[in-house]
A = this chain, B = another copy of it.
Amino acid sequence: MIQASIIGASGYAGGELLRILLGHQKVNLRQVTSQSKIGELVSSDHPNLRGATRLIYESLGDLKKCDVLFVSLPNGISMEYMEKFQKLAKKIIDLGTDFRLNSIQDWETWYQIPHKNPALLKQFVYGLPELHRKEIQKTSYVAGPGCEATVSILTLWPLIKHKLILPEPIIIDAKMSSSQAGNKATAGSHHPERTGVVRSYAPTGHRHTGEVEQELAVGAARPKVAISATAIQMVRGLLVTIHVVPNKNVTEIDIWKAYRQEYGREPFIRIIKQKKGIYRYPEPKILQGTNFCDIGFEIDSHTKRIVLIGAIDNLTRGTAGQAVQCMNIMFHLPETTGLEFPGLHPI
């Protein structure tokens, strides 16, 4: 059994990790921490786990050595303590933003605070299995991608790699859920204000832009990516509508081929493009709790544009599920272990 611990388990990402790891047949979840809730039952924050575990939040200082450490801390904190964490476990999977970007310049551009440990940046592999499986197999340190970056990169990457689309413009219109903003109540998350919104919370300047551009810099040109994010009535889930320009004479068959070639054997990617039915394109509502990334597309002959559609659960595929998929790769387990939940319908 893999001995695992979680640092920062009281948030939504931590809760989703708890759910998955408690059901993972090869993992023994040893310790979880929350500095503000030491001594409390984890089920006080995560009521779905009532009866499933008697785990109690412990202090960082009480952490014992383990095989793999999941770190789920706010931006800028992880980089401060990472060297200490490295003494606790050989393998570390960080869910935060601190080690996602390879370049210190990129980090400071998008996060606008100095990085406290730039030397560590190159030790971390960007934890997107479909793009970096081989590196993840060998590395000790994984930086989990952002949820918005995950779905955008997975949707775009085969078309860029196969040179089917121009590196610019790439316009990502993201429809976001409320759990993405975390578990702290704010004026904007107050139910009467947040319910039913179509809130343009980040029309420009989304921080995941850096990650997306880094990962899509396949071959020559680094693409320019424009993200506009709108929060809608949804607790879990994320859908991107991506508007791109095809290279000349690109056909539907070319696109199918690119996706099939890159993802044909991927256990967590499904190409969804149906002629009839009510779930003809990717739909995040039926992905809740699953590790799938569903991808669809349509060619717009009127404007010579391709519309790509990608959907995930931001907490599972976008955070905790993907982290566990990386762990499975790092420990040479079948990738789907612990991630078998197919999702609910209706929901």
**A interface residues with partner B (beta carbon < 8 Å):** 12, 15-16, 19, 22-23, 44, 46-52, 168-169, 171, 173, 175, 178-179, 183-200, 203-205, 209, 224-226, 228, 230, 232-237, 239, 241, 243, 245, 270, 272, 277-286, 288-290, 292, 296, 298-303, 305, 307, 309, 311, 340-347
Contact = CB atoms under 8 A, between A and B. Distances in A.
- Give the 4 A-B residue pairs with the shortest CB-CB distance, closest first: A192-B346, A204-B300, A191-B194, A233-B233
A191 B190 CA distance: 6
Contact of A235 (B15, B196, B292): B196
Count copies of this chain in the complex. 4
A307 B229 CA distance: 11
Given A179-B346, A189-B185, A302-B224, A281 B232 contact: no
9 contacts: A48-B342, A48-B344, A171-B171, A173-B173, A175-B198, A197-B285, A199-B278, A203-B300, A226-B305
Nearest to A345: B48
A278 B200 CA distance: 10
B241 A196 contact: no
A113 to B, nearest CB: 19
Given A204-B298, A226-B302, A236-B347, 13 more contacts: A12-B192, A19-B344, A48-B342, A169-B245, A173-B243, A185-B186, A192-B346, A196-B234, A197-B285, A204-B302, A205-B302, A224-B302, A232-B232
Contacts of A197: 283, 285
Given A48-B343, A204-B300, A198 B311 contact: yes
Given A178-B195, A197-B285, A228 B241 contact: yes
B344 A289 contact: yes
A283 B47 contact: yes
A194 B178 CA distance: 11
